[in-house]
Amino acid sequence: MTIKLLRHPHLETEILERNLSSTIDRQRRYALISVHGDPSVQLGKDGAGGQNLYVKSLGLSLAKRGCQVDMFTRRESSDRPDIIEHANGCRTIRLTAGPTKFIHRDELFPYLPEFLEAWLKFQQQTGTTYDLIHSNYWLSGWVALQLRSRLGIPQVHTYHSVGAVKYKAMDIVPKIALSRLGIEWACLEQSDCVVATSLKEKQDLRQLVSQQGQIQVIPCSIDIQHFSQVDKVHARQQLGIPDNQKMILYVGRFDERKGIEVLVRACAQLPSILKDRCQIYLVGGSHKNAVDTVEQQRIRSLVTELDLNNITTFTGSIDQTHLPTYYAAADICVVPSYYEPFGLVAIEAMAARTPLIASKVGGLQETVLDGETGLLVPPRDPEALSNAITRLLSEPQTARSMGISGYERVCSQFGQRAVAEKMHLLYDSLIYKNKFSQSNHYI
């Protein structure tokens, strides 16, 4: 697929001259683009998940360093404000592109030109210029590629999901697949740098997308303190979990590739003496997202079919402020995904000292140290998952030790401050490189 990038010489020259005349030490201003992942919405609703949290967390972390960060997303509701100030120097800006309603990401491609024009209009009206654009997911990548070409602004791109990997795990691929694969190729070859969240993702990009382009591995991060401060006893009291009950937790969207069906079937296979003492909490889901609702109804039907209604709780979407209570209360957290580039839920659980069981796929193979911070099991294998659940629930000392090790790993590898520092250094290097090449161009 050919990605046509149009250039506007007069506008480009004006922006370049403005950038070159600015001092090198002035406050940085970054544009984070997340077309379908609004950083401000409640997780688990309308398809909101790890990408939304990644963008917001990165924006807030960079703002703490004194940077100005604007996070651009698509307006999905007329009830939501155009601009939300999250903190000094960090805000979400919603742009109109297509109908003002939720649209599944696989159907958003036709509205990207409108999003692009809305972005340029916002920049023109406010007089705002950006030192760098960081695009998230292939939809945002298309927008950023156009802006990079038009304005000469360096672009960083994060995939969040690699189409070539995702489609291998699907029986039927969506109609948008060819367009997505072409744009993902362009993002790797034409952007200034791709940020992979794991070594496995970097390997996938090299093997399945392109050997060209710069890739740097920088993991996701979380606010460790937010997830580590809740007392387990207090959390279980809040949720009404008796001392003699074992709580199995799933957190995430209701999406077929998240493997919730595998978890439900695994729980149905638990030994009766253990199953009778278990409570399964499925956290996530919404009422507006048609795809999400269809999958949730399918899982509800499966729960009924397997006679698990009396031990299964569908909580719906839980606000991020209350999520640590669920992690703290849980005896184990399960991430049964068929594909996961990184797995933010895994490090959130580890920050809460909750032992993990996760699929041996993607970035989860690096995030979770098998036998140390949790257990890794083959994807789509209810029996293997059931055995792992049985082991951890039957060996509380082993589970406790894994929880402690997980917390130590999160503190050493996935803290916001350290990750933001790596990202800031990358941004700076690309900005300097871009300014140098532009100055040579005008000599």
Confidence of residue 1 (pLDDT cuts 50, 70, 90): very low
Residue 19: pLDDT above 60?
no
Question: Could you give the domains of the chain?
Answer: 9-221+416-442 (3.40.50.2000), 224-413 (3.40.50.2000)
Q: Are 364 and 335 in contact (CB under 8 A)?
A: yes
pLDDT tens, residue by residue, 290-306: 456 789 999 999 999 99
What's the CA angle centered on 205, arms 29 and 410, to 5 degrees? 65
Residue 5, pLDDT above cutoff 60: no
CA separation for the pair 51, 226 (Å, rounded): 18
Predicted structure pTM score: 0.84
Query: Do residues 37 and 73 make contact, with C-beta atoms less than 8 angstroms apart?
Result: yes
Take residue 438 and report the two structure tokens written for it: 């532009």
| C-beta separation of 313 from 282 below 8 A | yes
Residue 213 in tokens: 């382009």
What's the mean pLDDT in 363-390? 96
The single residue listed with the structure tokens 């507006």 is 288
Range among 76-85, 222-231, 379-388 with highest mean pLDDT value? 379-388
Report the share of the chain in percent with pLDDT over 70: 90
d(CA 212, CA 188): 7
pLDDT > 50? residue 126: yes
Residue ranges of E strands in 197-274: 215-217, 246-251
pLDDT in tens, 99-121: 999 999 999 999 999 999 999 99
- Copy the structure tokens of residue 294: 């269809």
pLDDT of residue 4: 46
When pLDDT is cut at 50, 70 and 90, the band that residue 319 belongs to is: confident
Considering only CA atoms, which of 157, 161, 147 is closest in space to residue 218?
157
The confidence score (pLDDT) of residue 14 equals 47
pLDDT in tens, 375-386: 999 999 999 999
**Nearest-angstrom CA–CA distance, 129 and 432:** 16
Q: Which of 26-30, 177-181, 182-186, 411-415 has the lowest mean pLDDT?
A: 26-30
303-334 burial string, b = 16+ CB within 10 Å, else e? Answer: beeeebeebbeebebbebeebbbbbbbbbbbb
b (16+ CB within 10 A) / e for 337-365: bbbbbbbbbbbbbbbbbbbbbbbebbbbb
Is it the case that residue 45 has pLDDT exceeding 70? no
pLDDT beyond 50 at 254: yes
Summarize pLDDT for 335-356 with one digit per residue, the tens.
999 988 888 999 999 999 999 9
